[in-house]
Structure 1
Amino acid sequence: MKRTPLIFLAFVLLVPVLLCAQRPQKPVLHARHWLAITGKPLGATAGARMFHQGGNAVDAACA
């Protein structure tokens, strides 16, 4: 039995799966004065509060 038809069939079946498995792109963020990015919502809130109180990036990172 030839391998060519099997390889072609595997390729045809796997390509749609691989294309659907790609990570969706997140929208680009733009900021005018400050931006606090963390892995947790509470961390972003703490950083935003520090910026609102007049803190700098080091203060926001420590918060």
Structure 2
Amino acid sequence: MLMRHAETLAIQAGLRGTRLYTNKLMPSNIALYRSLGYAFEKETLHDHGTVAVHMVRSLAERAVD
């Protein structure tokens, strides 16, 4: 529900998509976001060897509720 709400706010603000990132060590997060329509964009290395997985989703196909 929270992700859908964020996407609705993005659409209302005139944005064409959303993006997020999660820790590579959290595969359940990555799977959840993929199931919601997010696609892998890139990985970035952060402090202490942490790897962030950046994901994006186009909102073109989603209408406002």
* Larger proportion of strand: 2
> How would you bin the TM-score normalised by the shorter chain?
under 0.3
TM-score, normalised to structure 2, is 0.18
TM-score, normalised to structure 1, is 0.18
Q: Which has the larger radius of gyration?
A: 1
* Larger proportion of helix: 1
